[in-house]
A and B are shown apart, each in its own frame.
Chain A
């Protein structure tokens, strides 16, 4: 029974892929059918995924080392001296991802029907294509989590990158009056190129790993002998292969999970449709980077006290704080959430960096639910405000002006207009800020508790106590800012009085949009209970798997001091947010922070000018180089050479034509023709067409021959 379903794991990514193919090839024109095909595809994946999850939960002791999961090998490709084995595997980490990914995908698929205005006059003209793309995306994510080797992992990883590009640029024909504002087309390209940097680094890591071990299957790479060899052989002075490979693979995670310094693509990715922001850029794809580090965690811990974990911890913690400061000064409702996502992903990466493997995965799962909820909620808000905008314009017959439905300054008082969206959004916000007893409290607290424990009692895997304290401090500060910007968002969007006509007329969204919100809100509320420190199912599931690293992982016991501090800072954040935005609701769309913080606010509003710095340091030089190459190619060297060869050839052929072809070859051919024609003209005289003439000639000839015969005798 268990075996049977585990052997069917490979079907999970295939059902959405089949849905993608069916929609693209056949049902493209029928919107309702395309919707159902996509729903059935992800629905089957969900059912199968949950069966596998529950079975893996039931059987988790068997799915732990030394077997390292239940293997299902599908192909073996001979590659020169070794054999590349491709297949799928089920272990508890995969099981947990199969719990989260297909379910969140299903919710978002259902939500998309309402968001893309199915059944109304405003239905998106590329409605079916949207469902095809998100189905392909689901295939990529599900395939990633069931892969048992680096090759298929990379393939599915890139499928997701492609889908991300396609979906961010889904409204590629959209343009804005403000030339500085990034268009969906540019945003898609930016995301694709930025993540590509990380992917190339990761590919280098994988290739180095292959060159050292001769295998890319997780089970073989993470076996004790291989890890020991990797940790004790040196790439160059003082750097073992394990460290180098781990850091390179982490590069891929930095790109995909939008960690500093490759975080710039994620906020601009919000130009895509909101279900995409929720699906790809909050819940699933960006967490693939965290999943990658979790999956390859044995590599990161192979060298005791190596620099790789310090790098991971530093980037994660820095990103967590960095992104949350930017979120404070953003007015676009989705951009705030985007920076919040970057910040939360920083939490997970930082947790992995101090060896808190279980806490990171727990936060990954919990975050996916409440961040999907928040994104879908923000989509519902935007949708409502847009409708309100159209509605108020129809009434007033006004001129259609540039109106930004994403701008929180254009909202206010929406809790009354959109109660379901509003209350579920508040629940998501409570979960995000880590208020007891919502999911975020338990998961975030576990990370902080682990960091604190690592600081006080010495870290696992040789993580230094100083680093642990650094991580704890940064994450706690980030927790405070998280509460502040989330509170700001809630008060600006839902509290007070509507600041525009659009917000005054915003209607509540349709059922297919609000029901997924309610279901996700339930999960965001109760999921944390599975990770309570004194009954931590996550630890039971993952802890044993993690013992492959030869260590017992830190299991964050409940630490009242840490929980107290984090709750206190979260409450402080909420309180200050209320003090600034909630106590006296804004009437004018001017942020009071701008005056208080002054230049700091401008700095945050412009995201520390990272985009501008990249433009000056990376993009401009690349463009200059391209222009120089173009000039080299087009004006000075290559093109003149090519043109010169061409001109010489043409001159030569013209000379040959004049000197040889025309007089000799043509002369001979024409001469034969002319001679034949002249001869024919001469002979033509004898052809009278009169039979009697011919007969006469024949008779005379016979007579002459006869005479000749007689004479000669």
Chain B
């Protein structure tokens, strides 16, 4: 039996909302990064689900390739984000985003 498309979408939407909630509510910058990762993965689930149900019969690989690119970008983004967090921590001895408000004078 085949899992219907809507189930995937529900899981992905749930995952996205959890990630969004984490990104918006966490004070710890690392927590925010983890939320962002969750949201990216929710998108990946969507991409693969749509590919499987809409395009797989035509023999293309575009959905999988797209997902892999997103994973790659996510890895790079995580690296840059963590580096920023470390830099902020070195300067200000905190990773609490409430305290990092230099943009507002």
Q: Give complex CA distance A689, B23 in Å.
A: 16
Residue numbers in A under 8 Å from B32 (CB-CB): 692
Asked if B104 and A696 make an inter-chain contact with CB atoms under 8 angstroms apart, the answer reads: no
Q: Give complex CA distance A690, B24 in Å.
A: 11
Q: Is B58 interfacial (CB 8 A cutoff)?
A: no
Pairs A-B, 4 closest by C-beta atoms? A689-B104, A689-B101, A689-B103, A696-B24
Q: Is A688 interfacial (CB 8 A cutoff)?
A: yes
22 contacts between A and B (CB under 8 A): A687-B104, A688-B101, A688-B104, A689-B101, A689-B102, A689-B103, A689-B104, A690-B97, A690-B98, A690-B101, A690-B104, A691-B97, A692-B23, A692-B24, A692-B25, A692-B32, A692-B97, A695-B23, A695-B24, A696-B24, A699-B20, A699-B24
Supply 20 further A-B pairs (C-beta < 8 A) apart from A688-B104, A690-B104: A687-B104, A688-B101, A689-B101, A689-B102, A689-B103, A689-B104, A690-B97, A690-B98, A690-B101, A691-B97, A692-B23, A692-B24, A692-B25, A692-B32, A692-B97, A695-B23, A695-B24, A696-B24, A699-B20, A699-B24
Q: Give complex CA distance A691, B88 in Å.
A: 15
Residue numbers in B under 8 Å from A692 (CB-CB): 23-25, 32, 97
Q: Give complex CA distance A696, B102 in Å.
A: 19
Interface size class on chain B is 10 to 19
* B69 CB → nearest A CB, Å: 23
Q: Give complex CA distance A689, B103 in Å.
A: 5
Q: Which of A678-713 contact B (CB under 8 A)?
A: 687-692, 695-696, 699
Q: Give complex CA distance A696, B32 in Å.
A: 13
Binding site for B on A (CB under 8 A): 687-692, 695-696, 699
* B32 CB → nearest A CB, Å: 7
Residue numbers in B under 8 Å from A696 (CB-CB): 24
Contact code string B15-45 (vs A, CB < 8 Å = 1, else 0): 0000010011100000010000000000000
* B13 CB → nearest A CB, Å: 12
* B70 CB → nearest A CB, Å: 19
Contact code string B93-105 (vs A, CB < 8 Å = 1, else 0): 0000110011110
Q: Give complex CA distance A696, B23 in Å.
A: 9
Residue numbers in B under 8 Å from A691 (CB-CB): 97
* B103 CB → nearest A CB, Å: 5
* B31 CB → nearest A CB, Å: 11
Q: Give complex CA distance A687, B103 in Å.
A: 9
Residue numbers in A under 8 Å from B25 (CB-CB): 692
Q: Give complex CA distance A96, B53 in Å.
A: 128
Residue numbers in A under 8 Å from B97 (CB-CB): 690-692
Residue numbers in B under 8 Å from A688 (CB-CB): 101, 104
* Chain A residue at minimum C-beta to C-beta distance from B17: A699
Residue numbers in A under 8 Å from B20 (CB-CB): 699
* B43 CB → nearest A CB, Å: 14
Q: Which of B53-97 contact A (CB under 8 A)?
A: 97
* A310 CB → nearest B CB, Å: 102
* B24 CB → nearest A CB, Å: 5
Residue numbers in B under 8 Å from A690 (CB-CB): 97-98, 101, 104
Q: Give complex CA distance A687, B24 in Å.
A: 17
* Chain A residue at minimum C-beta to C-beta distance from B26: A692
Residue numbers in A under 8 Å from B24 (CB-CB): 692, 695-696, 699
Q: Give complex CA distance A687, B32 in Å.
A: 20
* Chain B residue at minimum C-beta to C-beta distance from A688: B104
* Chain B residue at minimum C-beta to C-beta distance from A700: B24
* Chain B residue at minimum C-beta to C-beta distance from A687: B104
Residue numbers in A under 8 Å from B102 (CB-CB): 689
* Chain A residue at minimum C-beta to C-beta distance from B101: A689
Residue numbers in A under 8 Å from B23 (CB-CB): 692, 695
* B36 CB → nearest A CB, Å: 10
* Chain B residue at minimum C-beta to C-beta distance from A695: B24
Residue numbers in A under 8 Å from B98 (CB-CB): 690
* A682 CB → nearest B CB, Å: 16
* Chain A residue at minimum C-beta to C-beta distance from B32: A692
* Chain B residue at minimum C-beta to C-beta distance from A689: B104
* A604 CB → nearest B CB, Å: 98
* A290 CB → nearest B CB, Å: 92
Q: Give complex CA distance A454, B103 in Å.
A: 115
Q: Give complex CA distance A692, B103 in Å.
A: 13
Q: Give complex CA distance A687, B102 in Å.
A: 12
Q: Give complex CA distance A688, B98 in Å.
A: 10
* B82 CB → nearest A CB, Å: 16
Q: Give complex CA distance A687, B105 in Å.
A: 10
Q: Give complex CA distance A699, B101 in Å.
A: 21
Q: Give complex CA distance A695, B102 in Å.
A: 17
Q: Give complex CA distance A55, B23 in Å.
A: 114
Q: Give complex CA distance A689, B98 in Å.
A: 9
* A701 CB → nearest B CB, Å: 13
* Chain A residue at minimum C-beta to C-beta distance from B25: A692
Residue numbers in B under 8 Å from A699 (CB-CB): 20, 24
Residue numbers in B under 8 Å from A695 (CB-CB): 23-24
Q: Give complex CA distance A458, B25 in Å.
A: 137
* Chain B residue at minimum C-beta to C-beta distance from A692: B24
Residue numbers in B under 8 Å from A687 (CB-CB): 104
